[in-house]
Amino acid sequence: MVEHHIQIYDTMTRRKRRFKPLNPPTVTMYVCGPTVYGDPHIGNLRTFTLGDLIRRWLEHRGYLVKYVMNITDIEDKTIRDSGNAGKTLKEFTDYYTGVFFRGLDLLSVKRATAHPRATVYVPQMIEFIQTLMEMGVAYNAEDGVYFDIDKFPRYGELSGVDIGKVERTERVASDEYDKEDAQDFSLWKKATPEEIERGIYFESPWGRGRPGWHIECSVMSKELLGDTVDIHAGGEDLAFPHHENEVAQSETVTGKKFVRFWLHMRHLMIDGGKMSKSLGNYVSFDDILDKHTPDALRYLYIATHYRRPLNFTWGNMENAQNTLNRLENTLDLIENTMKGPDDNMDYGEREKKLLETVRAEKRGFVEDMDDDFDAPDALGHLHAINGAVNEYLTEPANKGVLREAADIYGELLGVLGLFEKRSAGGDEATERLIAMITDLREEQRKEKNYAFADLIRDRLAEAGVEIQDTADGTTWKLKS
């Protein structure tokens, strides 16, 4: 493992602390996943992309990251909207889970180690609630089972809500509620007649019903990552009540610290307000894709620190696209130069200066990323490398030297998850395999075995490779 000095800002202790996982080299990380009731907007996607950036950096530093992101497929909104759409809960949430993954794939957000669906863990949730009941911290009311927050003295510590000062209503059934209220929250909700009719319920010791939203994350985190996780992350709006409630439940049951580092991503804003589905002020991912590449959006996200709000404007988006294109032009330039003649074997001042700059800027990049994942500052170093390479390429290049500089440039772009699609499938082994297949097909054509030649063409197309017969032979390209 590489020696490092990663520092992470922890919401609970409200300061940056040196990061060391509980069981190195493993890092356990849980990110509260999406509620799959609609297309994710670019605010949601920011949170998940920044989670991915953090994971990639930890992996780059040699950690084995066990990364769990749940799919919230049963809570108030999924039930309500699937009903309105005339779909079963499963049809409805499966569809939006697919939409969500498509978004992640386009943004080069790596799949988590596990993406558990809440509905699959209901037996464990029931067991968890039973433990809370036996411990006397939960009670059974008319419409469900509630957690009694008076029984958890540290309630409010994470988010800083002072429960002495806030308005204290008795209890709340809804999964989401106002910042101003601290309330006993729902662990188990008894089924309504409509839910019974639609078959949306599970049998439990408290009758038919379903889990509350907060218990879902506590249980899936425990089941998949253990009692204590190194990092738990989510958007800033989740600190209260969602994460506060998770702490209360989990620490009561296990008697252990639930989370060692709490990370909260600030919101994506539009016109000075939070972008949100319920406010209707959102820009969808498809709106972006109409005009820009997914990598440009990823760049826009990365260029603002995760603990700062990002104000979305189309102008910013435009700038992100231009900057990204500039970074990509350098990749093209490098590739073309590497394919060109080998006419400079010098190792002179220009070469020395290039390598010194690139190595020093890489160290700067690493220091910034180690410091609470400061990607905006790290990008400054990346641009310095970009500038140095461009400058070097204004005159004939020593390919060995260029290779080293290009490798560092590519490595840092890779850590940021940029241009991943660019290299996909275009590697040497793929090129040789496709050349071999098209040669074999050519022989079949010479033998007038046209049906077989067509079959090869069709099968290649199925595999995403389009071929074309030209006067100069067969050419191919990957279908985008």
Residue 44 touching ligand AMP (CB under 6 A): yes
- Point out which span in 56-64, 211-219, 358-366, 460-468 binds Zn ion (CB under 5 A): 211-219
Closer of 46 and 292 to ligand AMP (Cβ):
46
Residue 288 touching ligand AMP (CB under 6 A): no
Residue 235 touching ligand AMP (CB under 6 A): yes
Residue 217 touching Zn ion (CB under 5 A): yes
Residue 8 pairs in a beta bridge with 17
Choosing from 124, 131, 276, 311, the residue that interacts with ligand AMP (CB under 6 A) is 276
Residue 268 touching ligand AMP (CB under 6 A): yes
Which positions ≥6 away from 436 have C-beta within 8 Å?
A: none
Residue 174 touching ligand AMP (CB under 6 A): no
- Point out which span in 112-120, 137-145, 182-190, 274-282 binds ligand AMP (CB under 6 A): 274-282
Residue 32 touching Zn ion (CB under 5 A): yes
Token pair 């909104």: residue: 77
* Cα–Cα nearest to 411, from 101, 163, 56, 161: 56
Residue 70 touching ligand AMP (CB under 6 A): no
Contact 386, 330 (CB under 8 A): yes
Q: Which of residues 341-380 bind ligand AMP (CB under 6 A)?
A: none
Closer of 68 and 200 to Zn ion (Cβ):
68
Closer of 217 and 416 to Zn ion (Cβ):
217
Closer of 273 and 340 to ligand AMP (Cβ):
273
- Point out which span in 38-46, 187-195, 334-342, 396-404 binds ligand AMP (CB under 6 A): 38-46
Closer of 12 and 401 to Zn ion (Cβ):
12
Residue 234 touching ligand AMP (CB under 6 A): yes
Q: Which long-range contacts (CB under 8 A, 24 or more apart) does 376-385 make?
A: 376/302, 376/303, 376/304, 376/305, 378/412, 379/302, 379/303, 379/416, 381/412, 382/327, 382/409, 382/412, 382/413, 382/416, 384/357, 385/357, 385/358, 385/361, 385/409, 385/412
- Point out which span in 234-242, 251-259, 314-322, 393-401 binds ligand AMP (CB under 6 A): 234-242
Q: Which helix (H) or strand (E) holds 440?
A: helix 428-446
Closer of 21 and 234 to ligand AMP (Cβ):
234
Q: Which does 334 bind (CB under 5 to 8 A by kind): ligand AMP, Zn ion, none?
A: none
* Cα–Cα nearest to 215, from 116, 129, 139: 129
Residue 27 touching Zn ion (CB under 5 A): no
What mask of x and - would describe binding to ligand AMP in positions 180 to 209, judged by CB under 6 A? ------------------------------
Choosing from 191, 229, 238, 378, the residue that interacts with ligand AMP (CB under 6 A) is 238
* Cα–Cα nearest to 402, from 356, 341, 354: 354
Q: Which does 217 bind (CB under 5 to 8 A by kind): ligand AMP, Zn ion, none?
A: Zn ion
What is the C-alpha separation between 411 and 419, in angstroms, rounded? Answer: 11
What is the C-alpha separation between 394 and 266, in angstroms, rounded? Answer: 41
Residue 215 touching Zn ion (CB under 5 A): no
Is the torsion defined by CA of 369, 371, 373, 378 positive or negative? Answer: negative
Contact 185, 138 (CB under 8 A): no
What is the C-alpha separation between 353 and 375, in angstroms, rounded? Answer: 25
Structure tokens at 7: 């520092």
What is the C-alpha separation between 374 and 410, in angstroms, rounded? Answer: 19
Residue 43 touching ligand AMP (CB under 6 A): yes
- Closest CB 312 distance from ligand AMP, rounded Å: 9
Closer of 234 and 294 to ligand AMP (Cβ):
234
- Residues 310-338: b if buried by 16+ CB within 10 A, e if exposed: bebeeeebeebbebbeebbebbebbeebe
- Point out which span in 43-51, 57-65, 345-353, 361-369 binds ligand AMP (CB under 6 A): 43-51
Q: Which helix (H) or strand (E) holds 475?
A: strand 473-478
Query: What single-letter amino acid sits at 319?
Result: N
- DSSP state for residue 236 in the 8-state scheme: G
Number of residues that bind ligand AMP (CB under 6 A): 16
Query: What single-letter amino acid sits at 35?
Result: T
Residue 444 touching ligand AMP (CB under 6 A): no
Residue 224 touching Zn ion (CB under 5 A): no
Residue 275 touching Zn ion (CB under 5 A): no
- Point out which span in 63-71, 250-258, 269-277, 424-432 binds ligand AMP (CB under 6 A): 269-277
Closer of 238 and 248 to ligand AMP (Cβ):
238
Contact 354, 392 (CB under 8 A): yes
Structure tokens at 240: 């209260």
Query: Which spans of this chain sit near Zn ion (rule: CB under 5 A)?
Result: 32, 217
Footprint on this chain of ligand AMP (rule: CB under 6 A): 32, 34-35, 43-44, 46-47, 234-235, 237-238, 267-268, 274-276
